[in-house]
Amino acid sequence: MILANGILEMTRMLRYWLNPQCSDASFLSVENGEMFQANPIAISVKPWRGRHHVYSVFMLSSKNKMKSPILLTVKGAGRYRKEACMVKEDAEKYPAPPGYYFLRVHLKTRVAIVMILRGLLDLLRDPANWTLTYTA
């Protein structure tokens, strides 16, 4: 019985390490501002190149400057809370049209690799499966 509980706990810890998801999205309450959602305009899925090569690029309105933290939802992978230090305004790669800015949000490489091994690469490459939720 004790051995079975230990194995079960180790499995939970390993699952969390491989895919640490956000279980409470209450930080996105409307009390903190108006809530917005966006889908990406571009996705890069190249985990074989190392860290920071699985990400999506969102085009957001400058009028609705996002507040941190944000919530990234990827169908098949889960929901992830991201702080301001975990996202990057992508000004050097793409010039944004007037009134907009680009935001790059990364997905953990190990999460992408697990999805690919499960045969979910097409799901990962589809922009309709990525959603950024934030308050402004």
Are residues 40 and 56 in contact, defined by beta-carbon separation less than 8 angstroms? yes
- The yes-or-no verdict on residue 41 having pLDDT over 80 is yes
Q: In total, how many domains does the chain have?
A: 1
Query: Is pTM, for the whole model, over 0.95?
Result: no
Mean pLDDT of the chain: 77
Residue 17 falls inside a structural domain: no
Region of poorest pLDDT, from 9-18, 34-43, 60-69, 126-135: 9-18
Residue 10 falls inside a structural domain: no
Residue 21 falls inside a structural domain: no
Residue 125 falls inside a structural domain: yes
User: Read out DSSP for 93-135?
Assistant: TSPPPTTEEEEEEE--HHHHHHHHHTT-HHHHH-GGGEEEEEE
Residue range of the domain that includes 37: 31-135
Averaged over 14-43, what is the pLDDT? 68
**According to the model, what pLDDT value does residue 7 have?**
65
